[in-house]
Amino acid sequence: MRWPKALFLLFFPIWSFGTNFDRSAVISFTDSSLHSRVCRSIEILEDPLREYSAEQALSHSDYRISTDPVPNLGISSSAYWLRFALTNNSSEDIVMLQIPNSEIDQLDVYTAQGAIPELVCATGQGRAVSTRALHDALYTFALDIPIGATEWVLLHVSSNKQLRVPVVLNSGPGYIIDHDLRGLIAGGCFGIFLVMGLYNLFVYFSIRDRNYLYYVIYILLVSVTQVNFMGYAQLYLWPNAPSFAVLSSQILTVLTAIAASEFMHGFIRSDKYIPRFKRLTWWFYAFLLTALAITFSGYELLGYKLLQVAVGSFAFYLVLSAYMVWRRGFPPARFFCIAWSLFLIGVTVYIMKDMGILPYNWVTTYMMPMGSVAEVVLLSFGLADKINVLRREKENSQAAALRMSQENERIIRDQNIMLERKVDERTHALQESNAHLKRTQTQLVNAEKMASLGQLTAGIAHEINNPINFITSNIQPLRRNISEILEVMEGYRSLDAQQAAIQLKALKEREQQLGISESIEELDDIIGSISEGSSRTAEIVRGLRNFSRLDEDDLKETDIHEGLRNTLTLLAPQIREVVSIQQELGALPMIECFPGKVNQVLMNILTNSIQATQANDTGRDPSITILTEVVDDHVAIEVRDNGMGMSEEVKAHMFDPFFTTKAVGEGTGLGLAIVYGIIEDHHGHITVESEVGQGTSIRILLPIRHARRNEQRA
């Protein structure tokens, strides 16, 4: 409670002595002192351990007089006490005290008429908005000082940021004017930010250029950052989050710097003009986020100092980068360079005001938000100019593309003429090459056929030689016997009637001497032997002729079993007493095929099976099994042997031309390739199952009615 005025006058001498106003100049507040700043009349006491009570601080003797227009307490972990004596010589008993710095974490205001200070308000950024004396963005206090009275004003302040304590005294009307003017400036700035943000957001939705989206995000962060420095962010956005409010300026500064960099990266095409820009930018991001992390970890002072260095160097780097792009020929970069420079000028003036280098007035106080407004407007102009630049570049590129297209069209016409000539030449060469290739292929196939026939020749020659030798060896006895018989017959024919008895006796003796009876019996055996040899020779010749079918180049109905028999007849010299042949032949209909080609398939497969069984060293008796059956509308021919078998790698290439496992000179590698081609021509199928050391099974499916004949019938 206030003392009664009479009691106050009674004890005024003692109180005056106790408070010792003579130690410092007393500030006189009058009606003409509207919006007056307390300059060098403030006394400052540092409280390093934050242990002084208000009573101790008021009566402490270690105060120093402030020499700055605005007390600058620096960046420190100490708490500070500020005091000054105030005489109210105005016409009202209320003096408005304002502290226009929203970045003070703790702010306690006391007044004292005697040795006991009275708390007016305990507030600050580190406390909820509800603790403020007045609902205002700035810290404002109504000091109840009677007219003509003199009282101590004691301030207790602390902060983990740059601590400036501007002290402004104002009257009620002056405060209202000041409040309205601050609201008008803040509302105007925020309104410009809002208009620019919405305009560019609509542009983004229209043209879908990400630069506009980055710019809208940047404007949003800049606006929130500026109203935060003005004190309105905590007042309206997070009034009950003092812990966040204390760090809000650092967080928003980092986010704004990153948003500015991302917007600038796309706006000035830094990846084209400064290839290393993005890499260096990531280092700055790491620096900024590291400083912010240090702040969060409890080292607020160190983090704040590092953040000042990081933000300052990063801002200079962005301006320098924009200037470099401008100098390298991208005109829209000049807008960013000028706009960012204006913003930095505003920030510099704001900081110099806090440092006491520049006076503390309306211009220096609001230079940073005004610089931000100028920056936002210029960047909007820059984006519009960039659209014009891109439009001109597009028109130029389209014109260049049209010229290039016309030139390409001319070149293409010339090239087409040249290509057509070369294609004709190449086509002629390919036709000749294909004809040569076909001739070569035919020669290779014929060579393989001749090789197969060559292998058969030795066996056939041996097989035919036996009956021929048999016939040849019987010719001489036949000639001798016939000669003897003819000699006797000639004697009988030349008998003389007069000497018949004597001549008959001589002839009988000669007949007995020559053994005509035995010769006549021997003639029957000789003729039988010659007949058998001739039959065997004729059978071999007939089998060879039926096998080759050289005169049958058209589709014919053929008996597969007859082809097997002819093939086995020709292979008899290789099989006899060497390989055991088992035949499990089913009832087969006549099939439409090329008989000679089918016989060649059977010959090649059986020859390979014979060679495989002879090459097997397992000790098993060589054996081949031939099976035939009808499967749906196909005839199946399966040849199984217990030979050496094949590996998977050999199976994968067994039908490739010129692939062979035989020694050089023993095979051309075309046999199975020809087999595969013939079966494909017949629209048939061939499958192979083999196991190394166990044997191989080859199964052939041939259609009963050939596809080509069916198409002709259809």
DSSP calls for 674-708: HHHHHHHHTT-EEEEEEETTTEEEEEEEEESS-HH
CA 500/CA 502 separation, integer angstroms? 6
222 with 361, same domain? Answer: yes
How do beta strands 591-593 and 634-641 pair? unpaired
Please give the pLDDT value at position 602. Answer: 84
Look up residue 687 and give its two tokens.
């499958």
Q: Say if 160 falls within a structural domain.
A: yes
Tell me which H or E stretch contains 709.
Answer: helix 707-713
Please give the pLDDT value at position 120. Answer: 93
In which order are the strands placed within the sheet that holds 685-691? 580-585, 623-631, 634-641, 695-703, 685-691
CA 99/CA 354 separation, integer angstroms? 13
567 with 677, same domain? Answer: yes
In terms of residue numbers, what domain contains 72? 5-170
How many CB atoms neighbour CB 439 within 10 A? 10
Residue 384 near residue 338, CB atoms below 8 Å: no
> 2: which DSSP letter?
P
- HSE (side-chain half, CA atoms, 13 Å) at 78: 12
527 with 675, same domain? Answer: no
DSSP 556-613: EEE-HHHHHHHHHHHTHHHHTTTSEEEEEE-----EEE-HHHHHHHHHHHHHHHHHHH
Q: In Å, how far are 305, 493, 494 from 490, measured between CA atoms?
A: 152, 5, 6
**CA 270 to chain CA mean position, Å:** 25
Please give the pLDDT value at position 598. Answer: 83
Please give the pLDDT value at position 592. Answer: 86
Residue 254 near residue 289, CB atoms below 8 Å: yes
Helix, strand, or coil (residue 323)? helix
Please give the pLDDT value at position 442. Answer: 59
Helix, strand, or coil (residue 285)? helix
Question: 400 φ, ψ to 5°?
Answer: -65, -40
Question: 40 φ, ψ to 5°?
Answer: -95, 25
Please give the pLDDT value at position 10. Answer: 34
Please give the pLDDT value at position 153. Answer: 93
406 with 527, same domain? Answer: yes
Look up residue 666 and give its two tokens.
């023993």
Last residue of a domain, one of 170, 200, 230: 170
Q: Say if 482 falls within a structural domain.
A: yes
Look up residue 154 and give its two tokens.
């004691």
Q: Say if 176 falls within a structural domain.
A: no
Question: 635 φ, ψ to 5°?
Answer: -105, 130
How many CB atoms neighbour CB 581 within 10 A? 17
Look up residue 349 and give its two tokens.
């003036």
CA 610/CA 54 separation, integer angstroms? 119
> 22: which DSSP letter?
G
Tokens 């420095």 -> residue: 229
Residues in a beta bridge with 625: 582, 640
Q: Say if 687 falls within a structural domain.
A: yes
Residue type, 500: A
641 with 509, same domain? Answer: no
Q: Rg of the Cα trace of the chain?
A: 61
How do beta strands 72-74 and 163-164 pair? antiparallel
Residue 33 near residue 90, CB atoms below 8 Å: yes
Residue type, 277: F
Three-state secondary structure string covering 23-40:
HCCEEEECCCCCCEECCC
Tokens 């048939």 -> residue: 684
CA 7/CA 493 separation, integer angstroms? 203
CA 356/CA 39 separation, integer angstroms? 11
40 with 103, same domain? Answer: yes
Where b means 16+ CB within 10 Å and e means fewer, 190-205 reads bebbeebbeebbebbe
158 with 271, same domain? Answer: no
Residue 165 near residue 139, CB atoms below 8 Å: no
Residue 674 near residue 445, CB atoms below 8 Å: yes
543 with 676, same domain? Answer: no
Residue 125 near residue 242, CB atoms below 8 Å: yes
CA 18/CA 514 separation, integer angstroms? 187
Please give the pLDDT value at position 6. Answer: 35
Residue 150 near residue 87, CB atoms below 8 Å: yes
How do beta strands 580-585 and 64-65 pair? unpaired
Helix, strand, or coil (residue 515)? coil
368 with 228, same domain? Answer: yes
CATH code, domain with 640: 3.30.565.10
Please give the pLDDT value at position 13. Answer: 35
CATH code, domain with 284: 1.20.1070
Please give the pLDDT value at position 219. Answer: 82
Last residue of a domain, one of 170, 193, 228: 170
Residues in a beta bridge with 696: 641, 690
310 with 334, same domain? Answer: yes
Q: Say if 151 falls within a structural domain.
A: yes
508 with 570, same domain? Answer: no
CA 250/CA 167 separation, integer angstroms? 24
Please give the pLDDT value at position 271. Answer: 72
Last residue of a domain, one of 359, 393, 427: 393
CA 699/CA 683 separation, integer angstroms? 14
Q: Say if 569 falls within a structural domain.
A: yes
CATH code, domain with 108: 2.60.40.2380
Number of domains in the chain: 4
Task: Name the percent of the chain in helix, strand, coil, to the closest 5.
Answer: 60, 15, 25
611 with 700, same domain? Answer: yes
How do beta strands 36-37 and 43-47 pair? unpaired
CA 33/CA 90 separation, integer angstroms? 9
Look up residue 451 and give its two tokens.
């090789």
- Hey, CA dihedral for 156, 161, 164, 168, is it positive or negative? negative
**CA 125 to chain CA mean position, Å:** 49
CA 628/CA 1 separation, integer angstroms? 127
Tell me which H or E stretch contains 281.
Answer: helix 277-296
Residue 483 near residue 567, CB atoms below 8 Å: no
Q: In Å, how far are 13, 117, 151, 352, 691 from 114, measured between CA atoms?
A: 11, 7, 8, 38, 116
Q: Say if 175 falls within a structural domain.
A: no
Residue 158 near residue 105, CB atoms below 8 Å: yes
Residue 547 near residue 571, CB atoms below 8 Å: no
Q: Say if 250 falls within a structural domain.
A: yes
CA 564/CA 550 separation, integer angstroms? 17
Please give the pLDDT value at position 670. Answer: 63
Give the residues of the chain that fall short of pLDDT 70: 1-25, 32-40, 350-351, 353-357, 359-362, 382-394, 437-471, 473-474, 496-500, 525, 528-529, 532-533, 535-554, 573-574, 576-577, 658-670, 707-714
Residue type, 488: V
Q: Which of 70, 83, 76, 35 is nearest to 165 (CA)?
A: 70
Look up residue 685 and give its two tokens.
């199928």
Q: Which of 164, 163, 167, 171 is nearest to 154 (CA)?
A: 167
Residue 38 near residue 167, CB atoms below 8 Å: yes
